[in-house]
Structure 1
Amino acid sequence: MQLADIPSKILGQIGTVQRITFPRQGHTSTVAVLETADQRYVIKKTEHELYNAWLSDEYAAMQLLQGTGIPIPKTHSFYIENQSRWLLMDYVDGISLRQFLAGYPPEKDKEKAIVSFGRCLKQLHECPCPIEWQQVEHAWLDHILTKAEYNLAHYSVDGTEELLAHLKINRPGDMAPTLIHGDFTIDNVLVHNGEVVGIIDWAGATYGDPRYDVALAIRPKTNAFEDERDKDIFYDAYGKRRLTEEEYRYFEDGIYNFF
């Protein structure tokens, strides 16, 4: 992405861009930080059918959740240009929790960040869910399994037909739905001075099973949730029951492989 590639309507909103930089990139979009004389913005661009749909869903979710108290970047515009989609939002001054923990901070700083992470997910799951997401015909798990089947047939995913069949037969017991993020990993939570300051990548947000968020939150990564102590600290802050091993495997080793 070059400055000249950005739609003029977006540039007209923010004024003269003095600097454009590129943070670590993900797999679904191109992300750039735009700096003007008095503010920084993040712009995301997608150019693939599936990722375009995700970016559209992300924008809609962030619009619905503004003003809830959940730390969400403010969105400014969503723009469609041929096969591309563009989302403009405020920059959040922080780094991903994964990056922070991978730097092996002092133990007290690590624990502080994990506590903030757990409390943040508690806040999210206790936040009233927008009525638009509650008025659905099918339960979240039915919907997510249907999407998994579609993704398996149309896109390259890690899941297999055998795994999907297993997930359909071995469904976990019911749990009351809540607002969920849908991709609550340590990559998508930003921290500053050991405190959560932002949650990003909201394409999967909906009224669903909170165990999915928890399973993705405690996936082991470098210096993160590699031992039980980190999980204990997280669960104490989250304040709700722990997942069973079967629940964790169903959501993290199962459902997540199709998304």
Structure 2
Amino acid sequence: MSTTTAVDDLARRVREQLAELRLGDLRTLPGGHSGLTYSVSAGPVSYVVKAVPPGQRPVGRNDVLRQARILRLLAGSPVPVPGVVAVDESEPAWFAMEFVDGEAIEPVLDDHRLAPGLCRTRMLALADVLRDLHDLGAETSEPSVDPAGELERWSRTMRAVPGELRPGSDELLGLLASQVPGGVQPVLTHGDFRLGNVLCRGDRPAAVVDWEIWAVGDPRIDLAWFLLFADHRNFPRVGRVVPGLPGEEELLTAYLDGRPGPPDFSWFRALARTKMAAIMGHNLRRHREGRHHDPDQERLPPTIAAMIRTARDILDRRS
């Protein structure tokens, strides 16, 4: 089936499910990194449609039905998410959700003109949203992922990257494996929780999006990842200075809201840096192999090396 035919067929199915005779054309939504992502209007109302690409299996990032499940589970909770309006499980599966107006900007990585004070307010507000998410518990049949399982996942990603792009990573992975902490009560985790995955209106989060790798797991995984984006110095040649942005300690204090600090948190801070190095190494490899041409990826080697180096430093101070 050609791409045009597949889109026409998807549009027909969406129109039938939503029973909207005035439904406009499906338009590719920029920024979607999983499955096929479109926007579509029905008069004054707009929706986002996410679908499994034709001929591909609905697994991993293409499992749009799994994304729809977590959005429905969170509906009406303190965690703002788009409302799901239709789900079609027949192949290729798709679902439609409300279009939430807002901007998703990562202050230290994205090119933007936001006032520093607004960036600060948004990031502190997001610490509250993350705490709300983790406070929900894990009322789902999804199997939980413990720290060892999370390490194994990102170790596989790291080892798939050519060795010259990840200097010192083998020693780092060995250190992490030798110091895996005990788990805590599993909760719902987003997997990529940061301002770049949150639509904001003014200084408030309007919707947490991009739930492709959500899981039931250790809350410290989400927390350490979120804190990583508080400091441009974590991203040499990539990060930008944002005056007044809350640092890791201030964000951690906001998240805890008077509760005791998480045990063994330094291990998770090292894991977050390992995960970032693995992801950046994977993206750089795809660029150099010609699978996804993006010359901007050539800026990543200093950050990859810094992530690995600082992760090892954190573990050395811990031992």
TM-score band w.r.t. shorter chain: 0.7 to 0.9
Amino acid across the alignment from 1:38: P
1:195/1:102 Cα in 2 relative to 1: closer, same or farther (>3 Å)? farther
Amino acid across the alignment from 1:29: G
Residue 74 of structure 2 corresponds to 65
Amino acid across the alignment from 1:96: A
State the aligned residue count: 253
Structure 1 runs of 4+ off > 6 angstroms?
149-153, 156-161, 224-228
Structure with the largest fraction of strand: 1
Q: CA RMSD in A?
A: 3.7
- Following TM superposition, by how much is the alpha carbon of 1:248 offset from its aligned partner in structure 2, in angstroms? 1.1
1:227/1:157 Cα in 2 relative to 1: closer, same or farther (>3 Å)? farther
Q: Distance in 1 between matches of 2:86 and 2:157?
A: 28
Residue 184 of structure 2 corresponds to 175
Give TM-score scaled by structure 1 length.
Answer: 0.77
Alignment match of 2:96 (pick from 79, 88, 96): 88
Q: Distance in 1 between matches of 2:255 and 2:198?
A: 15
Residue 11 of structure 1 aligns to a residue whose secondary structure is helix
Cα deviation, 1:120-158, whole Å, max 9, x if unaligned, reads 11111112321424xx4x6523444565577789xx678
Cα deviation, 1:141-190, whole Å, max 9, x if unaligned, reads 3444565577789xx67899946655433313433332221221322111
Alignment match of 2:252 (pick from 235, 249, 252): 235
In structure 1, stretches of 5+ residues that fail to align are none
Residue 12 of structure 2 corresponds to 8
- Following TM superposition, by how much is the alpha carbon of 1:19 offset from its aligned partner in structure 2, in angstroms? 5.2
Query: Rg larger in 1 or in 2?
Result: 2
Residue 228 of structure 2 aligns to a residue whose secondary structure is coil
Residue 17 of structure 2 aligns to a residue whose secondary structure is helix
Tell me if 1:251 matches 2:272: yes
Cα deviation, 1:34-58, whole Å, max 9, x if unaligned, reads 1111311001123243446532321
Q: Distance in 2 between matches of 1:30 and 1:169?
A: 40
Q: Distance in 2 between matches of 1:226 and 1:169?
A: 38
Residue 312 of structure 2 corresponds to none
Tell me if 1:38 matches 2:44: yes
The worse-fitting range, judged by mean Cα deviation, of 210-219 and 167-176 is 167-176
- Following TM superposition, by how much is the alpha carbon of 1:205 offset from its aligned partner in structure 2, in angstroms? 2.6
Query: Contact 1:124–1:180 (CA<8 Å) still a contact in 2?
Result: yes
Q: Distance in 1 between matches of 2:130 and 2:37?
A: 25
Residue 187 of structure 1 aligns to a residue whose secondary structure is helix
- Following TM superposition, by how much is the alpha carbon of 1:89 offset from its aligned partner in structure 2, in angstroms? 0.9
Q: Distance in 2 between matches of 1:205 and 1:29?
A: 15
Residue 208 of structure 1 corresponds to 217
Q: Distance in 1 between matches of 2:93 and 2:17?
A: 17
Amino acid across the alignment from 2:113: Y
1:22/1:182 Cα in 2 relative to 1: closer, same or farther (>3 Å)? same
Residue 56 of structure 1 aligns to a residue whose secondary structure is helix
The percentage of aligned residue pairs carrying the same residue is 19
Alignment match of 1:198 (pick from 191, 207, 212): 207
The worse-fitting range, judged by mean Cα deviation, of 195-204 and 23-32 is 23-32
Query: Contact 1:117–1:234 (CA<8 Å) still a contact in 2?
Result: no
Query: Contact 1:114–1:233 (CA<8 Å) still a contact in 2?
Result: no
Query: Contact 2:228–2:248 (CA<8 Å) still a contact in 1?
Result: no
In structure 2, stretches of 5+ residues that fail to align are 233-238, 283-319
1:158/1:61 Cα in 2 relative to 1: closer, same or farther (>3 Å)? farther
Residue 129 of structure 2 aligns to a residue whose secondary structure is helix
Residue 168 of structure 1 aligns to a residue whose secondary structure is helix
- Following TM superposition, by how much is the alpha carbon of 1:71 offset from its aligned partner in structure 2, in angstroms? 0.6
Give TM-score scaled by structure 2 length.
Answer: 0.65
Q: Which has the higher contact order (CA 8 A, sep 6+)?
A: 1
Q: Distance in 2 between matches of 1:149 and 1:190?
A: 31
Q: Distance in 2 between matches of 1:20 and 1:99?
A: 30
Amino acid across the alignment from 1:95: E
Q: Distance in 2 between matches of 1:73 and 1:180?
A: 17
Amino acid across the alignment from 1:179: L
Q: Distance in 2 between matches of 1:248 and 1:97?
A: 22
